[in-house]
Amino acid sequence: MDHRTDRAFALKLGELDLNRMPTVTQHRDSLKTTIEDLAIFGGTPAFETPLHVGQPNIGDRNKFAARVNDILERRWLTNGGSYASEFEDRIAEIAGVAHCVVMCNATVGLEIAIRALGLKGEVIVPSFTFIATAHALQWQEITPVFCDIDPKNHCLDPAKVEELITPSTTGIIGVHLWGRPCDIDRLMEIATQRRLKLLFDSAHAFGCSYKGRMIGSFGNAEVFSFHATKFLNSMEGGAVVTNDANLAQRMRLMRNFGFTQYDQTDSIGVNGKLNEVSAAMGLTNLESMTDFISINRRHYKQYRNELAGRPGISLLHYDERERSNYQYVVVEVDEEKAGVSRDQLMQILHAERVLARRYFYPGCHRMEPYRTLYADSSLSLPHTESVSARVLTLPTGEAVTPEMISNLCGIICMVLDNATEVRKLFKERLPA
């Protein structure tokens, strides 16, 4: 049964025990012992089907199916449904924040939060983030001013933020990249002193903490993503959380075209609503949230053990004193020490059908329209340039097994042990 038939089959709700569906990716037991075994040089790929970064975690299928049946039974599919409102309550509770406004995705959540906060002119953002952070500003004709990161935590460098503030600056958007928090204290100080709005793109950081307090109640507002690829998904979905009741109310109106009652809008709005099936998925997955995190944590530790001590490869560290969702397994490849480049390693893994990703290469400033609009920005972003050229994100989550990780790490270690030979073969057989 192929991938698509498998999914279609799963959606025939009620006809089978949905918890017993096979996982999509299958593992073939083909360990590599020499570089000639590598698929890139003619060997058989280690995996029969692609091993993706971002395969969704899926909670109890029967509970999800029951919720979907209930939605169909009640014929209430979207627009202020009870599952969406229950999802909001649960998110606010977990994030320790007063108000949660669920959205159809985090990009629209960012756009609405930016608008409701009254941002305009220039807003300082990292370039080392998913393109949606920058697009949410540019879409509203606000200039994203790209700021460099601190190479230690891959988040905004507060000292550089200060240097970029001008009379046109109205706000700062910090991104808790990989779920690891920004230097929130320092950014809050700067925002308060300079009277700027502070928004956090917390797309990666649901379930994470900063100095023991859950991410969600910092700054003026924070935005979570529940996209399919996030450790906690509602298929598509997002949420803006805040302790500011007025801001929450403005965002609720904006989410529903600005309607204040039937036949009346008092301000502009858009359609940012989360539908009931997505909310049901989110609620169902929330019931398995601790399981998802422990699976991710176990995988992360296995990667850490299996790659330990390998020169040139360092695994991104999560602070064990904080709560983390461990949803990204990120390695930094130092070409000089490893003997192979990040891109060569990625090509090798892709040939094995391990679809490792170069998140967030090459940085927003090198993607259009920003590359053309702000052509000089690379000069002031040296850490963004070098970090984005080194990172590689590896598969994790419920769809990945310890055997797959062993196999994958075995390939990486074998490549590193034979780096000189591998480089030579690249030159001979795969000239650039």
* Spatial distance between the Cα atoms of 124 and 110, rounded to a whole number of angstroms: 14
3 state SS of 222: strand
| Cβ distance to ligand T4K smaller for residue 25 or 310 | 25
Query: Cβ contacts of residue 147 below 8 Å, gap of 6+?
Result: 124, 125, 126, 127, 156, 157, 160, 161, 164, 381
Dihedral of the alpha carbons of 421, 425, 427, 431, in degrees to the nearest 10: -160
Number of residues that bind ligand T4K (CB under 6 A): 23
| Cβ distance to ligand T4K smaller for residue 223 or 412 | 223
Q: Considering only CA atoms, which of 128, 137, 192, 178 is closest in space to residue 156?
A: 128
Task: In angstroms, give the least distance from the CB of 229 to ligand T4K.
Answer: 5
Task: In angstroms, give the least distance from the CB of 192 to ligand T4K.
Answer: 24
| Cβ distance to ligand T4K smaller for residue 55 or 169 | 55
DSSP, residue by residue, 297-329: HHHHHHHHHHHTT-TTEEEPP--TTS------E
Angle, helices 61-74 vs 276-286, to 10°: value is 150
401 binds ligand T4K (CB under 6 A): no
| Cβ distance to ligand T4K smaller for residue 88 or 201 | 201
Tell which one of 84, 92, 132, 281 touches ligand T4K (CB under 6 A).
132
129 binds ligand T4K (CB under 6 A): yes
Query: Which residues on neighbouring strands pair with residue 144, listed in sequence order?
Result: 123
Task: In angstroms, give the least distance from the CB of 339 to ligand T4K.
Answer: 28
Q: Binding pattern to ligand T4K, positions 139-178, x when CB under 6 A?
A: ------------------------------------x---
Q: Binding pattern to ligand T4K, positions 348-377, x when CB under 6 A?
A: -------x---x------------------
Residues 180-209 that bind ligand T4K (CB under 6 A): 201, 203-204
Q: Binding pattern to ligand T4K, positions 32-71, x when CB under 6 A?
A: --------------------xxxxx---------------
Tell which one of 71, 106, 387, 411 touches ligand T4K (CB under 6 A).
106
How big is the CA angle at 259 (ends 256 and 262), to the nearest 5 degrees? 120
Tell me: cis bond preceding 362? Omega within 30 of 0 counts.
yes
The sign of the torsion formed by the CA atoms of 128, 129, 135, 140 equals: negative
Answer whether 155's CB lies under 8 Å from 174's CB: yes
* Spatial distance between the Cα atoms of 59 and 293, rounded to a whole number of angstroms: 12
3-state helix, strand, coil in the chain (%, to 5): 45, 15, 40
Task: In angstroms, give the least distance from the CB of 54 to ligand T4K.
Answer: 3
| Cβ distance to ligand T4K smaller for residue 204 or 310 | 204
Residues 225-264 that bind ligand T4K (CB under 6 A): 225, 227-229, 238
Tell me: cis bond preceding 218? Omega within 30 of 0 counts.
no
The residue of the chain with the least Cβ separation from ligand T4K equals 54
130 binds ligand T4K (CB under 6 A): yes
List contacts with ligand T4K (CB under 6 A): 52-56, 105-107, 129-130, 132-133, 175, 201, 203-204, 225, 227-229, 238, 355, 359
